[in-house]
A and B are shown apart, each in its own frame.
Chain A
Amino acid sequence: MKVKMLSRNPDNYVRETKLDLQRVPRNYDPTLHPFEVPREYVRALNATKLERVFAKPFLASLDGHRDGVNCLAKHPKSLATVLSGACDGEVRIWNLTKRKCIRTIQAHEGFVRGICTRFCGTSFFTVGDDKTVKQWKMDGPGYGEEEEPLHTILGKTVYTGIDHHWKEAVFATCGQQVDIWDEQRTSPICSMTWGFDSISSVKFNPIETFLLGSCASDRNIVLYDMRQATPLKKVILDMRTNTICWNPMEAFIFTAANEDYNLYTFDMRALDTPVMVHMDHVSAVLDVDYSPTGKEFVSASFDKSIRIFPVDKSRSREVYHTKRMQHVICVKWTSDSKYIMCGSDEMNIRLWKANASEKLGVLTSREKAAKDYNQKLKEKFQHHPHIKRIARHRHLPKSIYSQIQEQRIMKEARRRKEVNRLKHSKPGSVSIVSEKKKHIVAVVK
């Protein structure tokens, strides 16, 4: 008689070394694994819930300033170093890993209006209410040395902002006009004006480095070309723009933080319509900074919160606030795109995670795989009502919450009125203006 033995080739189930992965024979026949959609749905639901459970974005608060923090700057070479200027003229340099202040400078009398680092990271510039531009060494003074600026330029008018060129030894200040300075000279190389008004911020384009953008208090945004020493174009919005920020991955895209609670992303070649209007804040937006990946940006607002917007979405994906955080004046996204810093009125600098539920530290490969899978599941089922509800749910302070409600009502009323007007007027006499175009007053060539 023939006896049939069960036999298996050990090559199929014995691993060669201890470190090899155990080979698990699997049959991917779909009939053996039924209910794939419901199972994945449940997984996605759980992943979403867990994301909300683990969403603890607040990391640290750096306190030490004795007045509101007015400006922040990143170190171009060191992730752990951050500079901040306060309203009492004090500049502090912080070490983020130790969460400590490593240097304090009494830089100006009155506000420190602007601060920026040189592209090489060896020095930084500050401008203050005392009409001076000062250059400081990044390293502290040596033994027995006085804390003194490398250079001091005394100007005629107050400077309200400063930004350094990304490649060359050139920086730009703004005040009455936009001045471009050589680091070695005490007078500007060129001054660019277009009308007379106080300019609140000036920013160099990080990619096409000869381009500048500025925003003034007469509600306009002006673009300049440094090489030709001329302004290029001006767009006038409904309300004043507080600051702008260029996208570090897309040369022609910039975002403007406006007083009308919105942010506007523009393509600088077509200023008549913004690419996207980002709304969610309930008060003036004071600062904006792009993530170094260019996919998202963070905005700081007078409504005591900061929000993270995807570049291509008009609604924010995240809102951060704490009970003690007052009006947020400045915000920065760190250059490894993992953290966000914000400086606020009540003298603190706060450090947040850019992804609220992200696990910090080194992940094992399995953790990484699980994270990626969960992320994809959340994406896949994001439109399902239950999951959407959980993913969108945020706790908000009462003031913000009620203002959101109020503004929703106002907006609805306005819309209704518009519709009514359209309905009851002669066809063609009233046209509906899209949300994007509504806020642009004019584009001046």
Chain B
Amino acid sequence: MSAAGVAESLLALSQQEELEDLPKDYPLSPSEDEEDIDGERKHQKLLEAISSLDGNNRWKLAERSEASLKVSEFNVTSEGSGEKLVLSDLLGPVKTSSSLAAVKKQLNRVKSKKTVELPLNKEEVERIHREVAFNKTSQALSKWDPIVVKNRQAEQLVFPLKKEQSAFAPIEHVLSSWKARTPLEQEVFNLLHKNKQPVTDPLLTPVEKASLKAMNLEEAKMRRAELQRARALQSYYEARARREKKIKSKKYRKVLKKGKAKKALKEFEKLQKENPTAALEELEKIEKARMMERMSLKHQNSGKWAKSKAIMAKYDLEARQAMQEQLARNKELTQKLQAASESEEEEGDVEEEGELLVPDAVNEIQMDADGPNPWMLRNHSSGTKEARIQDPEQLPEPVAHETPESEEEERPGAEEEILLNEFEERRSLRKKAELNQDTKPVSRQEPKDSSSQEVLSELRALSQKLNKENQSGKQKVSSARTVWVVQRKDPTEEEEEPLLLQRPERAQTVEDLEELGKEGCFQNKEVPRSVLEGQQLERNPNNHPGAPKEKKKKEQMIDLQNLLTMKSPSVKSLAVPMTIEELEDEEERDQKQMIKEAFAGDDVIRDFLKEKREAVEASKPKDVDLTLPGWGEWGGVGLKPSAKKRRRFLIKTPEGPPRKDKNLPNVIINEKRNVHAAAHQVRVLPYPFTHHQQFERTIQTPIGSTWNTQRAFQKLTMPKVVTKPGHIIKPIKAEDVGYRSSSRSDLSVVQRNPKQLTVRHKKQLKKNSID
């Protein structure tokens, strides 16, 4: 730039210097010399001017770094003028131009407005805040009033207020935070982890868990049901087997055995058809068994047991039967198996059977001819049907052995039915026998020692003989079929016959019974009759038919009468104690006399009356005599104050209330306060009571169990505060008493129902708080 420019700027500078003295931010303190400041300033400005010679930044804003009143944004200072800027000054030039009307209006409005009030000082603001907050809080707190009142008045408070459920934390939850720290623990845990053993849940390993997951619920259920069924079935079978095992009936056993044998046979047949080789093997086995049996002599009745049984057999039916069974078994085993096949053939070929039958019958006859077999004889008397059937020697084989078998083959259930029938029969017989025995113990002397079984067996033997005759008659003539028919009828006949035979017997028994009954009746009747007679006899002692029995009765009657008259002795006995009483009276009189003598001088009644009079006198209020002898008149020995004076100075006390024992001649009531009792009495009415009667009432109602029922006692002695030992009592909570707990965000605290708190409540609260 040119020199002229520089000169201009310099000039301007000097002008500025004259016009203003800009306050600048200098770190110097005002105490420093002004000249120095000015010099520096000038120097600075000079520098600035020089630097602005380039023309770029010619006008620089004045720096403002110190607070000052003289600061202006436009670098215009009011320094020197010393006047305030007034609004009217500004408005002055505006008046001329109409375009500024809006501005003018605004400014006018501003001018007309009053000044805004000063804001409250901080303390006061805080105070208001506090007050508002306090009001809100206390309002919120007053929701507790009813609860507090209730708890203060409660007859009983049980703590903890909220019953807490005892929560069982599973062990894994408890242990979750726990970790192995010590080397030993770590080692143990390493081992556990290696083997995939459960660490937290001690029940299931991962494998087990997986298997559990694999089986779904339905499957598991089904399996369980199946298992249950199987178990139930097993138990049924077991129970059945046990029951069956317990059955003692030999017949049943035999039937069972036979059934089994038959089954085996059938199976064998089947096997023969299907698998001949296996059947052959089986056969061989049987054969072998038979051979072994034959060799072993096991069932020959030669063993120790068999010998002993043989000895016993004479006397014991059972033993005999056992032996026979043994023999039968022996025979069965030693026989060649042909027999089995025969039985099969029977069905088809009758004639062959007939042939077979004949020789047996012959044998039988021969046997009969030989002479009576001791076994057989006995068997006749005792043997049951089955025994006969199985007994090979005694009975006609064809009839007894074969026929039932054929029957069985035709209807396998028949045998069982028969068995059942027989059982029933026996039972009924036994019952009847027992009845008979009960009813006629004397009249039927011929006892049924041999049980009803024997009777039955006899009958049966008879019937069989008949059958045999029939058979022997028909055998040669009729065909086997007819024989069968007859034999089929047999059981029915057998059954009918014993009944027929029994009937008369039974009738007899009934008659006997009736007779017995009559006799019994007679005997029974005899007694009262004799009694009556006895009574009659008593009435007419002359009339004496004479019988020892009646005498006895008479004695009895006397006894009875004695009993009745036992009461009367009192009348008689009176005679004796009368004298005693008299004696006692005398004694009493004596004693009275003695007492009288001993206390002859004492007149108790008079003494008492005297005492009472004295007590009354003593309790009477005394008059006060205030006369002073010698005042106002002559005094000395023998001189008495005048009556006038005495009257004047005697102060009469008013009469008290009438004595309580005034109308009770034999009582003295002391109305004075008893010092000893007073020590135990309450002197002042204690605080909560307002009237002494109220207090007395509470004292006089007893609370002990001596005076109250158990329930009342419990109610009366209920403690005010009950705590559970070992339980933590937590502070009361808003949720416990049905309030919403006030939270952090709950600033607009409004009391729910401010009017719920009744006046009564408030009063009570106030009262309580005063207490």
> Which residues on A are within 8 Å of B, measured CB to CB?
1, 28, 30, 33, 36-37, 39-41, 43, 76-77, 79, 142-144, 166, 168, 206-208, 210-211, 223, 225-228, 230-233, 248-253, 267-269, 275, 292-295, 312, 335-338, 362, 369, 372-373, 375-377, 380-381, 383-386, 445
On whether A207 and B731 interact (CB within 8 A), knowing A41-B680, A312-B768, A376-B716, the answer reads: yes
Smallest beta-carbon distance A376→chain B, Å: 5
**Which chain B residues border A372 with CB–CB below 8 Å?**
717-719
Contact present for B707 and A28 (CB under 8 Å): yes
Partner of B700, one of A37, A142, A206: A37
How many angstroms between the C-alpha atoms of A380 and B742 in the bound complex? 42
Chosen A-B contacts, 5 in total, with CB atoms closer than 8 Å, are: A210-B744, A292-B729, A294-B732, A312-B771, A337-B723
Nearest A residue to B727, CB-CB? A336
Q: Measured between C-beta atoms, what is the minimum distance from B548 to chain A in Å?
A: 33
Once the chains bind, are A249 and B151 in contact (CB under 8 Å)?
Answer: yes
Among B126, B704, B714, B746, the residue within 8 A (CB) of A227 is B746
| In the complex, chain A residues whose CB is within 8 Å of the CB of B768 | 312
Q: Could you tell me the distance between the alpha carbons of A369 and B714 in the complex, rounded to whole angstroms?
A: 8
The 10 closest A-B pairs by CB, nearest first: A143-B181, A292-B729, A206-B731, A248-B731, A36-B702, A269-B138, A383-B686, A232-B134, A372-B717, A335-B728
Q: What separation, in Å, do the CA atoms of A261 and B275 have in the docked complex?
A: 118
User: CA–CA, A168 to B744, complex, Å?
Assistant: 10
Q: Is there contact, CB below 8 Å, between B159 and A40?
A: no
Per-residue interface assignment for chain B, residues 671 to 696, with 1 indicating a CB less than 8 Å from any chain A CB and 0 otherwise: 00000000111110010000000000
Partner pick for B707 among A30, A168, A251, A362, CB 8 A cutoff:
A30
Q: Is the CB of A33 within 8 A of B707?
A: yes
Please state if A232 and B686 are interface contacts (CB–CB under 8 Å): no
CA distance A343 to B744 in the complex (A): 35
List B111-148 residues whose CB lies under 8 Å from chain A: 126-127, 129-131, 133-134, 137-138, 140-142, 144, 148
Q: Is the CB of A230 within 8 A of B707?
A: no
Given the complex, which residues of A lie within 8 Å of B704, measured CB to CB?
A: 36, 39-40, 43, 373, 377
Q: Complex formed: what's the CA distance from A373 to B10 in Å?
A: 115
- Give the docked Cα–Cα distance between A38 and B595 (Å): 37
Whether the pair B141, A269 counts as a contact (CB closer than 8 A) is yes
In the bound complex, what is the Cα–Cα distance between A228 and B132 (angstroms)? 10
Q: Which of B131, B721, B725, B731 has the most chain A CB atoms closer than 10 A to its own CB? A: B731
Q: Which residues of B contact A79 (CB under 8 A)?
A: 726, 728
Whole-angstrom distance between the alpha carbons of A233 and B127 in the complex? Answer: 9
Q: Any chain A CB within 8 A of the CB of B445?
A: no
**Would you call B428 an interface residue if the criterion is a C-beta within 8 Å of the partner chain's C-beta atoms?**
no
Is B567's beta carbon under 8 Å from chain A?
yes
Residues of chain B contacted by A383 (CB below 8 angstroms): 682, 686
Q: How far is the CB of B744 from chain A (nearest CB, A)?
A: 5
B699's closest neighbor in chain A, by CB?
Answer: A37
In angstroms, Cα B723 to Cα A292, docked, is 10
> What residues of chain A lie closer than 8 Å to B709, measured between beta carbons?
28
Given contacts A40-B704, A268-B141, contact A336 B729 (CB under 8 A): yes
In the complex, residue of chain B having the shortest beta-carbon distance to the beta carbon of A377: B703
B142 proximity list for chain A (CB < 8 A): 252, 269
Contacts of B681 in A (CB 8 A): 384-385
Contact with A along B52-68 (1 / 0, CB 8 A): 00000000000000000
Judged by a CB distance under 8 angstroms, whether B626 is at the interface is: no
Chain B residues with CB under 8 A of A210:
742-744
B157 in the interface, Cβ–Cβ < 8 Å?
A: yes
Known contacts A293-B723, A337-B723; A36/B698 CB under 8 A:
no
CA gap between A76 and B699 in the complex, in Å: 44
Please report which residues of chain B, range 255-306, place their CB below 8 angstroms from some CB of chain A when the two chains form the complex: none
Residue B182, interface by CB 8 Å: yes
CB proximity of B421 to chain A, nearest CB, Å: 53
- Give the nearest-CB partner of A375 in chain B: B719
**Residue pair A336, B703 in contact (C-beta under 8 Å):** no
With contacts A336-B728, A372-B717 known, is A37 near B148, CB below 8 A?
Answer: no
| B-chain residues with CB within 8 Å of residue A168 when the two chains form the complex | 744
A1's nearest neighbour on chain B, judged by CB, is B567
Are B159 and A293 touching (Cβ within 8 A)?
yes
Q: State the CA gap A118–B681 with chains docked (Å).
A: 54
Let me know if B525 is at the binding interface, CB within 8 A.
Answer: no
Partner of B130, one of A294, A362, A445: A445
Report the Cα distance A36→B707, complex, angstroms: 8
Chain A residues with Cβ under 8 A from B181's Cβ? 142-144
- Is B144 within 8 A of A250, CB to CB? yes
**Docked-complex contact B723 and A336, CB < 8 angstroms:** yes
CB pair B148 A33 closer than 8 Å: no
Contact: A293 with B703, CB < 8 Å? no
B769 contacts chain A at the CB level, 8 A cutoff? yes
Whether A293 and B130, one on each chain, are in contact in the complex, defined by CB atoms closer than 8 angstroms, is: no
Partner of A208, one of B721, B742, B771: B742
B426 within 8 Å of A (CB atoms)? no
Residues of A within 8 A of B770 (CB): 275
The residue of chain B having its C-beta at the shortest distance from the C-beta of A226 within the complex is B744
Residue pair A445, B131 in contact (C-beta under 8 Å): yes
CA distance A292 to B179 in the complex (A): 36
Q: Does chain A have a CB within 8 A of B734?
A: yes
Contacts of B151 in A (CB 8 A): 249-250, 294
Q: How far is the CB of A364 from chain B (nearest CB, A)?
A: 14
User: Nearest-CB distance from B755 to chain A (Å)?
Assistant: 18
Question: Is the C-beta of B489 less than 8 angstroms from some C-beta in chain A?
Answer: no
How distant is the Cα of A142 from the Cα of B185 in the complex, in angstroms? 13
Contacting pair B731 A230 (CB below 8 A): no
Specify which chain A residues have a CB less than 8 angstroms from the CB of B363 in the assembled complex: none
Contact assessment for B127 and A445 in the assembled complex, using a CB-CB cutoff below 8 Å: yes
Confirm or deny: B314 has a beta carbon within 8 angstroms of a beta carbon on chain A.
no
A353 to B745, CA, bound (A): 42
**B539 is an interface residue with CB less than 8 A from chain A:** no
What CA separation (Å) do A40 and B141 show in the bound complex?
44
Given the known A-B contacts A230-B126, A337-B723, are A252 and B702 also in contact in the complex, defined by CB atoms under 8 Å? no
| 10 additional A-B residue pairs with CB within 8 Å, beyond A337-B159, A384-B682, A385-B680 | A207-B734, A232-B133, A248-B730, A251-B141, A312-B768, A372-B717, A372-B719, A375-B717, A376-B703, A376-B717
Instruction: Kindly state the separation between the CA atoms of A445 and B127 in the bound complex, as whole angstroms.
Output: 6
What is the bound-complex CA distance between A432 and B749, given in angstroms? 39
Residues of B with C-beta under 8 A to A143: 181-182
Interface positions, chain B 709-765, Cβ under 8 Å from A, are 709, 713-714, 716-719, 721, 723-734, 742-747
| B706 is an interface residue with CB less than 8 A from chain A | yes
With the chains together, A295 CA to B720 CA distance in Å?
A: 10
Does any Cβ of A come within 8 Å of B708's Cβ?
yes
- Chain A's nearest CB lies how many Å from the CB of B416? 53
Taken together as a complex, chains A and B put the C-alpha atoms of A148 and B714 apart, in Å, by 56
Collect the chain B residues with CB atoms within 8 Å of residue A33's CB: 706-707
- The docked-state distance in angstroms from the alpha carbon of A352 to that of B609 is 65
Cα distance A233–B135 in the bound complex, in angstroms: 10
Query: Closest residue to B696 on the A side, CB-wise?
Result: A37
Cα A376 to Cα B717 in complex, Å, equals: 6
Closest A residue, CB atoms, query B704 = A40
Chain A min CB distance to B708 (Å) = 7
**The residue from B126, B130, B144, B159 contacting A233, defined by CB atoms under 8 A apart:** B130
Q: Cα distance A267–B762 when bound, in Å?
A: 14
Q: Are B698 and A380 in contact (CB under 8 A)?
A: yes
Residues from chain A with Cβ under 8 Å of B745 in the complex: 227
Contacts of B700 in A (CB 8 A): 36-37
Chain A residues with Cβ below 8 Å from B727 are: 336
Residue in B130, B567, B771 whose beta carbon sits within 8 Å of that of A231 in the complex: B130
Which of B679, B702, B721, B725 is within 8 Å of A293, CB to CB?
B721
Q: How far is the CA of A206 from the CA of B747 in the complex (A)?
A: 18
A204 to chain B, nearest CB (A): 10
| 8 A Cβ contacts from B93-112 to A | none
Scoring A41, A231, A372 by chain B CB atoms within 10 A of each residue's CB, the highest score goes to: A372
Query: Inside 8 A of A335's CB, which chain B residues have their CB?
Result: 728-730
User: In the bound complex, do residue B682 and residue A385 qualify as a contact, i.e. CB atoms below 8 Å apart?
Assistant: yes
Q: How far is the CA of A370 from the CA of B138 in the complex (A)?
A: 44
Contact A373–B159 (Cβ < 8 Å): no
